[in-house]
Amino acid sequence: MRALCGLRSRTGALLGLLLLGALLALAQMRDRVWSRYEAEMQDPVDDPPDALRKAEFKLGRLRYRSPMDRGRRRYARWGIDVNKGDRIFVSLLQRLTRIEIQPIETIIDIGSDEIFNLPWVFAGSVGDWELSPSEAERLRKYFDRGGFLMVDDFHNEREWANFMAGIHQINPDARAEELEDGDPAFRTVFDLKNRVRVPGANVVHGDMIERGGIEPHWRTIRDAQGRMQIAICFNMDVGDGWEFADDPDYPERYSSEAIRLGVNYVIYSMTH
């Protein structure tokens, strides 16, 4: 009986410690700025100490809907690479430019008018997005007011067609074109005439082809004046280049390319 009581006592103490640890973890999660979205993120990380510091530039991350999110077991499509990739890119953008940058990304719901407060927004896996009429109209107004969108991490012709279907909801006359080597977007900070594909971490040590997307493309959609509105990274994964910049297993060459490309697109959007 005495041994049984001792076992119960130790078991109770262990359960108490486990419960305390779970409560502490939950409290820490609730303290994070974007904790309400963490169940939808692939790679959530802790906030930096100065997370709430205000700055003139905010990196927007677009939270959209996807049919693939219904009945999902893990993260949402918009949440791929979020939010570790955004945090690393923000920190490097701060170091490599003179832009005063907010230390963390700003997650913006596609259904919110708050998007008009963000001049630069990033979206991943847009080959699986789904836009309602009101969301398409809001994005049309966003571009009409000078907003800039960078899209990434979608592959193959099916995903391209679905992405462009959303674009044509926004603007039926929109036309995608290949960026030429001498385009100003490739020369704002870094000279990117000799570009290389940025592969996903899951294919970086193989043929670098993901979901059948064979050839990498750097494309754009421009406004009537010729200014880039949307920077398109197709059949590549720039977000992984950011996310795994601190991972020794991910080649530095591709992370450097991803960072340079992102920096150029940010500066282009602010100077053109």
Hey, what are 231's tokens?
Answer: 């920077």
The strand pairing partners of 57, in sequence order, are: 101
Spatial distance between the Cα atoms of 155 and 159, rounded to a whole number of angstroms: 6
Question: Which residue shows structure tokens 């900070």?
Answer: 189
CATH class of the domain whose range is 43-271: alpha beta
Q: Which backbone phi and psi does 93 adopt, to 5 degrees?
A: -60, -40
Q: What stretches of 55-128 show up as alpha helix (H) in DSSP?
A: 84-96
Q: What is the pLDDT of residue 31?
A: 81
Mean pLDDT to the nearest integer, 5-32:
47
Give CB contacts under 8 A, 24+ apart, made by 267-271: 267/97, 267/188, 267/189, 268/184, 268/185, 268/188, 268/228, 268/231, 269/119, 269/120, 269/148, 269/228, 270/57, 270/99, 270/119, 270/120, 271/188
Q: Could you report the per-residue pLDDT of 152-180, keeping only the tens digit for each?
A: 999 999 999 999 999 999 999 999 999 99
Q: What stretches of 195-247 show up as alpha helix (H) in DSSP?
A: 238-243
Mean pLDDT to the nearest integer, 221-234:
97
Which of 68-72, 100-104, 178-182 is predicted least confidently? Answer: 68-72
Q: Are 269 and 188 in contact (CB under 8 A)?
A: no
Spatial distance between the Cα atoms of 154 and 167, rounded to a whole number of angstroms: 14
Name 271's Cβ contacts closer than 8 Å, sequence gap at least 6. 188
Q: Which backbone phi and psi does 175 adopt, to 5 degrees?
A: -135, 130
The CA distances from residue 81 to 76, 108, 127, 227, 260, in Å, are 10, 16, 15, 28, 18
The pTM is what? 0.88
The strand pairing partners of 233, in sequence order, are: 218
Per-chain mean pLDDT for the chain:
90
For the chain, what percent of residues have pLDDT higher than 70? 89
Q: Indicate the pLDDT class of residue 74, thresholds 50, 70 and 90.
A: confident
